[in-house]
Every structure is written in C-alpha cells, then in structure tokens.
C-alpha cells in the first residue's frame, strides 16, 4: 500500500552539483507531477507528464529536467543546483481528470543548496 | 488563465467554533475545484472536490465546501473545529491536465 514514494527524503547539495529525485507510484496512474513548495508561495508546478514517454513544462521549469521512461516512475533532475532551488519538492500522481483527479502526493523531499 | 486565490494567510479559530477557509477562482470554462490539507512534514491529502451537481460538497473529516458560481468562490467549512484540524489548507483548480494550487492557508485551532 505504498502509493507515491519519493527518494531521497532529505538532501544537501553544494552550488553547481547535480542530482536526481525519484518518484515512484504503484497505482497505475497516467498523470504525474512535480511541484515545489516555498513559504508563502503555495505549490508551484515544475513539470508534469500525461503518460509514459511524455513530459510538459509547468509554471517554473527553468533549471529542472524530467523524464518518464516508465509509467510508474517520474524523475526530476537538477543539472547545476542553485541556492534558489532550496525548497521542498513534492511528487504527485492521478488518473486523467477532472472526474478522477484526486491527486496522491508523496511525503516530499527537502532539498537545501548551499 | 486559470487561477485560485486564498486571501487570508492564517485563520485562527477557537476549538468548537465554526471554521471557514476562503477560496476564490478564475477560469474561462467549467470550474473543477479541490481542497487539500497538509499536516506538518507530510504530503498533501485530498479532502473534497466539486465537479458538478450540488453546490454543497461533503468530504473527509467532517469538512464540507460550498460552491458559489456567482461569487466565483469555493469556501471550505467545518461546523465545529478540532485542535487536530490545525494544518495548512490548499484550494486547487483543475484544467489543462494539471492542478493549480493557491498559496495555502494556515489554520490554527486554539484549545
């Protein structure tokens, strides 16, 4: 009964380093999303995917890349981390909406870039 | 462009009193509206949604929301707040294959 699992849960990066955040879902959902949460800003959509092999830009895509090679996984990459990317990152998945769009969220990844 | 607005940063309410968290929306077509709750150090959890039908929607944990088309609002309500309701509440609007969230409202229920 895992739902949406994010790896890792915490990470500290130095400016310029790269990393990949992994999101895995076991609900056979078509749609997957990456959001970042910052104080007073709510959740902002970085990238999303409406199916295996597809990706699309959200509100704040700059500095991030994504891949959806398998339906159950959605990877978020930071090629050259910057302090402005310090945030809490959430992955979510859902069926195609709006009727079935109850999105399920992971527990979050707290990323600090120093 | 579609968007939601949550005009208050924080809502303070005494335990046992009614709780209201406000949300207004802007969309060109039919609104598909959602409420989520986030407890500390956790992901968001679905509370309820309005797609069509009755303007009063009932959801989890005793919460309900009232859809008002003329006022473009979708306020979250609970008749009697509990201390355990203290959390961050997000309104969201679905469109173009994605959910757009408001900035969130911190709810503090005072014992």
The structure tokens 């986030």 sit at: B38
Select from B43, B51, B104 the Cβ nearest to the Cβ of A90.
B43
CA distances in angstroms from A18 to A65, A113, B67, listed in the order given: 11, 10, 44
Give A-chain residues touching B34 at CB under 8 angstroms. Answer: 101-102
Give residue A46's region: left, alpha or beta (phi > 0; psi -120 to 50). alpha
Please state, in angstroms and rounded to a whole number, the distance separating the CA atoms of residues B3 and B92. Answer: 8
Gap from A9 CA to chain B (nearest CA, Å): 11
> Tokens in use for A109?
């990844």
Q: Which chain B residues are within 8 Å of A99, Cβ to Cβ? A: 51
Largest Cα span, chain B? 42
**Listed residue (A76, A80, A9) closest to A47, CA to CA:** A76
- Chain B CB contacts of A50 under 8 Å are 97
Omega cis (within 30) before A15: no
Predicted pLDDT of residue A100: 67
Residues 6+ apart with CB under 8 A from B70: none
Comparing C-alpha atoms, which of A29, A30, A26, A8 is closest to residue A78? A8
Q: Residues A55, A66: contact at Cβ < 8 Å?
A: yes
Query: What Å distances lie between residue A63 and A10, A91, A113, B70, B83, CA to CA?
Result: 19, 17, 13, 40, 40
Per-residue pLDDT of chain A (114 residues; tens, 9 = 90+): 679 999 999 999 999 999 999 999 999 999 999 999 998 888 999 999 999 999 999 999 999 999 999 999 999 999 999 999 999 999 999 988 777 668 899 999 999 999
pLDDT tens digits for range B49-97: 999 888 999 998 999 999 999 999 999 999 999 999 999 999 999 888 8
Q: How many residues does chain A have?
A: 114
Measure in Å the smallest separation between the Cα of B61 and chain A Cα atoms: 16
pLDDT of residue B29: 85
Would you state the pLDDT for residue A1? Answer: 60
């Amino acid at each position: 009964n895992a739902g949406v699992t994010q790896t890792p849960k915490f990470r500290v990066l130095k400016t310029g380093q790269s990393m990949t955040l992994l999101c895995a879902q076991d609900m056979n959902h078509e749609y997957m999303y990456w959001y970042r949460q910052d104080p007073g800003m709510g959740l902002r959509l970085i990238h999303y995917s409406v199916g295996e092999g597809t990706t699309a830009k959200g509100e704040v895509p700059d500095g991030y890349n994504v891949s959806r090679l398998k339906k159950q996984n959605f990877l978020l990459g930071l090629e050259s981390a910057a302090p402005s990317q310090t945030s809490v990152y959430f992955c979510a998945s859902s069926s195609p909406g709006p009727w079935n769009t109850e999105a399920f969220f992971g527990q979050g990844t707290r990323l600090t870039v120093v | 462009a579609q968007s939601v607005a949550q005009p208050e940063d924080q809502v303070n309410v005494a335990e046992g009193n009614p709780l209201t968290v406000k949300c207004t929306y802007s969309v060109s077509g039919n609104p598909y509206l959602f409420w989520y709750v986030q407890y500390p150090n956790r992901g968001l959890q679905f509370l309820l949604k309005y797609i069509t039908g009755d303007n009063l929607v009932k959801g989890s944990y005793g919460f309900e929301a009232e859809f008002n088309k003329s006022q473009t609002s979708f306020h979250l309500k609970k008749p009697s707040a509990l201390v355990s309701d203290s959390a961050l509440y997000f309104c969201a609007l679905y469109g173009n294959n994605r959910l757009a969230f408001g900035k969130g409202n911190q709810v503090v229920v005072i014992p």
